[in-house]
Amino acid sequence: MVDPNPVREAVIEKIRDMGIPFERHDHAPVMTIAASAELEDYCEACSVKTLFLREKNRYFLLMLPGAKRFQSKALAAAAGMKHVSFGSPEKLSEYLGTYPGAVSCLALLNDTEHHVELFIDAEVLDMEKIDCHPTTNDCSLRIAVKDILTVFLPAVGHEPHPVELGRRDPTSV
């Protein structure tokens, strides 16, 4: 049977070609962390949200724990920026080849011209594995953080910028 989503499968094949081990979980499309939490294979310890953000004409991804609330002022202060806002779905598609609700660091495969930087919250760096969408939100790949840092990011020519955004509030989602 041929998979109806060749873009997703191409991303998965590139991850496989890099020699990165992963667990694949196919599921119904999910747009939010809350929707992900209802999936049978959901793992809170692997839950990461990835936001597509911008400061003027500078675009970046921010990876943070799924349960951590995003605060633009905290990110701006930690990253030495003035004002951070969400990037448009059009720029997300243009630069990373994906759409809102499906973005993860794996979309950096499509950023061959390096339009997008990557910021990673310190808590994500402490995680063993994280779930990443392969440019669609109907599949997740559980990948070791060390493999993302030492194999994937060097292979796609992106350097992570660690940021400390404070410890998460366990009551926020």
The pLDDT, as a whole number, for residue 167 is 63
The pLDDT, as a whole number, for residue 29 is 86
Mapping DSSP to helix (H, G, I), strand (E, B) and coil, where does residue 11 land?
A: helix
- Which is nearest to 49 in space by CA: 58, 39, 62, 59? 62
Q: How many CB atoms lie within 10 A of CB 95?
A: 21
- Which is nearest to 109 in space by CA: 156, 53, 142, 141? 156
Per DSSP, what are the bridge partners of residue 57? Answer: none
Per DSSP, what are the bridge partners of residue 117? Answer: 60
User: pLDDT higher for 130 or 40?
Assistant: 130
User: pLDDT higher for 11 or 7?
Assistant: 11
Is the pLDDT assigned to residue 97 strictly greater than 80? yes
The pLDDT, as a whole number, for residue 10 is 92
Mapping DSSP to helix (H, G, I), strand (E, B) and coil, where does residue 31 land?
A: coil
Is the pLDDT assigned to residue 52 strictly greater than 80? yes
Six-digit token pair at 159? 């350097």
Which band of pLDDT confidence, cut at 50, 70 and 90, is reported for residue 1? very low
Looking at 36-40, 110-114, 144-148, which range is the least confident one? 36-40
Per DSSP, what are the bridge partners of residue 65? Answer: 48
Per DSSP, what are the bridge partners of residue 54? Answer: 59, 85
The pLDDT, as a whole number, for residue 173 is 41
102 and 19 in contact (C-beta within 8 Å)?
no
Which band of pLDDT confidence, cut at 50, 70 and 90, is reported for residue 168? low
1 Cβ contact partners less than 8 Å away, ≥ 6 residues apart: none
Residues 128-153 have pLDDT tens digits of 999 999 999 999 999 999 999 999 99
- What is d(CA 13, CA 36) in angstroms, rounded to the nearest whole number? 24
CATH classification code of 6-163: 3.90.960.10
Cα torsion angle, 65, 158, 18, 146, sign: negative
